[in-house]
Amino acid sequence: MLSPRPTVVFIPGLLNDKKLWQHQTDALSQYAEIIVADLSQDDNLPAMAARILNQAPAKFALVGLSMGGYVAFEVMRQAPERVTKLALFDTSARPDSATSAKHRQATIHSLKVGRFMGVTNKLLPQIIHPSRVHEPFAEEIKAMAQRIGGIGFINQQTAILARRDSRPLLADIQVPTLIAVGENDLVTPVKLAQEMHEGIAHSQLHIFKQCGHLPPMECPEETTQLLRDWLQQK
């Protein structure tokens, strides 16, 4: 009797949607059932996690990037027994610093009184490696942001602002865990990935060379192979 195909839940980051993970989901669909979470509907992490748990089967592997990592930690709080494997890309276990929180609050306020600009050309080099800003996927990053829109962005920023400190949770994570980060990530630097790696027993750390905050799009083949190996590990 064939064993059932595993399910992998992919969680995008801030202003990202399913396009972020398209290379990976297309390739891995031959091995697994794929679900891509929608983080544009709720304004708090517990509700985002609950939406995923309502959609997912009893057992599943979980992949999150950036804000998706924050949601993955919340899933691990609510239902750790349902997660078989965990992959955390370009994220952090820490809450916002006072400076980050103040900046995020200002962003939310300005959006409520102004116009949503999405991801601009000026912002791109802070998200992806500067050498990649003229590659075709850079336009896809802008398009994802426009699809999420201003209301979705406010919801997501509000949720991120209220996130809990997940560092106390790290020692409780017992499932096989992959931690990955771009070596040039300016949003969630390598040191934050190293902190999670040190906190989660037997976790694997992978650093993408010449890569910023979005390895699934900047280094798609490498990301897909990494996840394929992670998924097939016993």
Sorted by where each begins, the domain ranges of the chain are 7-97+155-232
Q: What is the pLDDT of residue 226?
A: 98
Q: What is the pLDDT of residue 97?
A: 85
Q: What is the pLDDT of residue 3?
A: 59
Q: What is the pLDDT of residue 4?
A: 80
Give me the mean pLDDT over the 131-144 stretch. 96
Handedness of CA 172, 163, 55, 188 (dihedral sign): negative
Average the pLDDT over each of 90-104, 121-135, 190-204 and give the range with the smallest value. 90-104
Burial class (CB in 10 A: 0-12, 13-18, 19+), 227: buried
Determine the residue type at 193.
Answer: A
Q: Strand, coil or helix: what is 29? A: coil
Give me the mean pLDDT over the 3-29 stretch. 95
Give the fold, CATH level 3, of 7-97+155-232. Rossmann fold (3.40.50)
Q: Report the C-alpha gap between 230 and 227 in whole angstroms.
A: 5
Top-confidence residue, 49 or 105: 49
Q: What is the pLDDT of residue 103?
A: 86
Q: How far is CA 221 from CA 22, 64, 182, in A?
A: 11, 17, 14
User: Which helix H or strand E contains 41, and what residues bound it?
Assistant: none
pLDDT digits (tens, 9 = 90+) for 45-63: 999 999 999 999 999 999 9
